[in-house]
Amino acid sequence: MAAFGSFCLLIGLALAAYNLLAGALALRLLATGQPARISPERLADTARRAGIAGFIAVTGAAFALVWSVFTNDFSITYIVEHSNRALPIAYKFAALWSGQEGSLLLWAWLLGTYGFVLRLRHKTDVKLYAYAGTILAGIQVFFLLLLNFAAPPFSLLKGAIPDDGNGLNPLLQYPEMVIHPPMLYLGYVGFSVPFAFALGALMMRYPGEKWIRITRTWTMVTWLFLTCGIFLGMHWAYAVLGWGGYWGWDPVENASFMPWLTGTAFLHSVMMQERKGMMKSWNVWLIFSTFLLTLLGTLLTRAGLVSSVHAFAQSSIGTWFIVFMAIVIAVCIFAYVYQRGHLKTEHQLESLVSRESSFLFNNLVLLTACFVILWGTLFPILSEYVEGSKVTVGAPFYNRVAVPIGLFLLFLTGVGPLLPWRSTSLRAIKRNFVLPVIALWAMVIVCLVAGANPWKGGMFDSGRFYALVAFALSAAVTTAIVAEFLRGATVIARQTGRNLFAALWLLTRRNTRRYGGYLVHIGVVIVVVGLAGSAFNRNLESELGMHGSMSIGPYTLVNNSFTQDTNDNYNSEYAVLDVYKGGKNVFQMTPEKRFYLASGQPQTMVAIHSTPEWDLYVVYEGTNPDTGQPIIKAFLNPLVGWIWFGLAVIVLGTFVALVPSLTPATAALRVPAARGVQAEPVLKGGD
């Protein structure tokens, strides 16, 4: 199977190279109109078919590696290093992306899958899709060069073949790690598609904004995958690492967050180009930057440039990535400079108090956040290069900068929908902002009464102050968005005679992009509320003998027993804790410590009890070597469950935004006339 996999990768490289060269030649011939022995259209079609065949070849290589994992083929070095016989079936799939070579193969396969779907849809706009397919082929050539020459996944083991492998990294033996890396990669790789369309449209001076409409679905789906991947990673860090948190500003966490920031800016900014013909250069460079940041994230993770629980060991592929990124930057700059006349804006900003200005400020703030995170992430590398020693940047640096930026973004989330296009009047501002301002100050009062006072023990607590601001702004933004829904639904209900809920449904269906976006904003607000709860976290550590107890918040934990267990994959020891609240035994928790046999590595399994109000988070830290008694660390983390619920709302809102809106004719058929009122089209919404 190793020979078959290696052969598939070589064939895939040859097909991708042909797709790139033949596609580029065909596009050149079409652009110049020069006579040729072969029809440019025919040449372009053979290039497209080569791309489809290349996807089949890379699929064969991915299948070969997965098959080798399941059949325990320990003649392959990669299988020895990342699998073992006792590894559960679900985690055998995870072995595909647990190592550097396998994760690069997953990158190439997902890129091939995106390219396969794109090439099947080539008749949507043959020339633009030909440009995009050729650019994707160039990206695929790079990754297949890596897999064939720099990081081959089918390298054979030298020497005697072992009876068993070293096993999967214990940190990856958690259910979410079967989903999190592929989801993150779907986002990373997926941004190659809008990048290819943007670069192709710029190269061919594509008229109008049709390329944006074509790629909108690609971009939104990719953004959703990346969002889900980031949140799944947060939940994994929360449930597995045992430190009581979910985001530590780890360099690899940052590497996934940066393209999310620029991708989010792009999704907002393209609305300006579609509606007003503005910010064309912004949009081109936002998507270029997003793609480059996905490459940077892959470089940081795979080249061992940064210290992280997510990163792989030091390797030589960093040079390959740096050279490829330099080529991409050069191509982007050349295309932009050569075709910049095509990106002239059609309108100018007329007022600083308008929806256009809110989009501009949104972009500036998102890019500022991205730059700060990029600087903090690369600073240890730069300091080592300049001074010879690594100077790390910790969470306090990011929090000092990122928290105020995040709160300002939250403010813009609420202000944007309340501002009209072009300009607004003072009267309109007063009318639209009265309810949100009332909600803001009402929430401030509620928080102060509930004890969220930033002055704690006579000392000013900046964390609590920011939390208070976050709660207040969240109330204002939610009020503003709900008011937008109710305002439109009330008009529909009055015109059609429908009840309010039916009117809300029809309102959303009339403009799914707008109101789906509002749902996404509500999801973001819910996430912010969950994040703000971290300012009120509590923790306590205690050594618990049999029937010993410890109290945290309203809970009392009593050690019922502590015991050991074993299976073919790992040995474990855990404590059985009875949890009391108000004197009643309400539930039981079993925090665990595992020792994996194949790798010889320990792993913490956290016990978590979640409610909408807080999480009780309990860690078994092992036993005291002197007394033999278990050491328990308990955290009480308020509002953490809101973060995961906010993600669900974001997913729902994105799906709504992806659904095509009702056309005016179809909407009219769905709006029966009210008694005595003739039916008419209602609320033709804009973005």
For 533-586, write each residue's pLDDT tens digit.
999 999 999 998 888 999 999 999 999 988 888 888 889 988 899 999 988 999
Instruction: Give residue-wise pLDDT tens across range 22-61.
Output: 999 999 888 877 766 778 889 999 999 999 999 999 999 9
Quote the tokens at residue 184: 């993150």
Of residues 252 and 618, more confidence is placed in 618
Residues 393, 379: contact at Cβ < 8 Å?
yes
Residue 678: its pLDDT value, please? 39
pLDDT top residue among 686 and 299: 299
CA–CA distance, 514 with 500 (Å, rounded to integer): 19
Q: What is the mean pLDDT of residues 316-338?
A: 92
Whether 656 and 508 have beta carbons less than 8 Å apart is answered as yes
Please tell me the distance from the alpha carbon of residue 141 to that of residue 139, in angstroms, as a whole number: 5
What mean pLDDT, rounded, does the chain reach? 87
Q: Output the six-digit token pair for 243.
A: 């430190």
**H helix runs in 277-346, sequence order:** 280-302, 317-339
582 neighbors 553 (Cβ within 8 angstroms) = no
Query: Which residues pair with residue 303 across a beta bridge?
Result: none
**Of 82, 78, 68, residue with least CA distance to 598:** 82
Is 273:209 a contact under the CB 8 Å cutoff? yes
Query: SS3 of 683, please?
Result: coil
Six-digit token string for 561:
């027993």
Domain ranges across the chain: 1-168, 174-343+358-398, 405-533+645-669, 536-641
Q: Which residues have a Cβ under 8 Å from the Cβ of 415 and sit 6 or more positions away?
A: 358, 480
- Residue whose entry in the numeric block shows the structure tokens 């001074």: 387
Residue that is written with structure tokens 């009480």 in the block: 636
- Most confident option among 87-91, 95-99, 136-140, 337-341: 136-140
Question: Residue 349 has what pLDDT?
Answer: 63
Weakest mean pLDDT among 51-60, 98-107, 668-677: 668-677
For the chain, percent of residues with pLDDT exceeding 90: 52
Handedness of CA 316, 319, 320, 322 (dihedral sign): positive
Q: Say what the pLDDT of residue 280 is.
A: 84
Query: Residue 670's pLDDT is what?
Result: 53
Q: Look at residue 184 in the predicted model and tell me its pLDDT.
A: 92
Cross-strand bridge partners of residue 573: 564, 593
The type of residue at 437 is V
How many residues comprise the chain?
Answer: 687
Q: Is the pLDDT reported for residue 200 higher than 50?
A: yes
3-state secondary structure of 618: strand
Of 130 and 431, the one with more pLDDT = 130
Interval 280-295 mean pLDDT? 92
What are the backbone dihedrals phi and psi of residue 293, each rounded to the nearest 5 degrees, phi first? -70, -30
Closest by alpha carbon to 58, among 134, 147, 127? 147
- Whether 682 has a pLDDT exceeding 50, the answer reads no
Q: Is the pLDDT of residue 673 over 60?
A: no
The stretch 291-297 carries a mean pLDDT of: 93
pLDDT reading at 79 higher than 80: yes
493 φ, ψ (degrees, to nearest 5): -60, -40
**Helix or strand or coil: residue 615?**
strand
